[in-house]
Structure 1
Amino acid sequence: MSKSIQQVKEEFNSSGISIAEWSRENNFPAQLVYQILNHTRIPQRGKSHLIAVKLGIKQ
């Protein structure tokens, strides 16, 4: 089951890990992660798709 973007944001808030820190640890551009979480980029393929899978937004 996939998570919603809101659920992912809440997990970041409760974990104390910033999105930028998560991005660095997972070797993803922070700007791309922010775009996905702010609905300004649709994660269809490439790195954005990999980010969505890693965050649990997509299977």
Structure 2
Amino acid sequence: MSITVEKLKENFAKEGKTLAQWAREHGYAPRDVYLVVGGQRKGNYGKGFEIARKLGLK
């Protein structure tokens, strides 16, 4: 069950939380999270995959 990036951003906006806050709370660099959400890092393996799974994108 994966969600779209648009839905993810909508959920964060409803909660009043930023991707950077989420990244720090989960021990990731904000830049890594932005790369996954923006599509520059596909999230097929490694840290990118972990981030995508935790965000519900995979």
User: What's the TM-score, normalizing by structure 1?
Assistant: 0.90
- For 1:18 and 1:4, locate their aligned partners in 2 and report how far apart those are by CA, in whole Å: 17
Q: 2:51 maps to which residue? A: 51
Deviations 1:30-54 (A, max 9, x none): 1010011111111011111000000
- For 1:2 and 1:47, locate their aligned partners in 2 and report how far apart those are by CA, in whole Å: 17
What is the RMSD of the two structures over their aligned residues, measured on CA atoms?
0.8
Calculate percent identity across the aligned residue pairs: 36
**Structure 1 segments of 4 or more deviating over 6 A?**
none
Matched to 2:15, the amino acid is S
Matched to 2:24, the amino acid is R
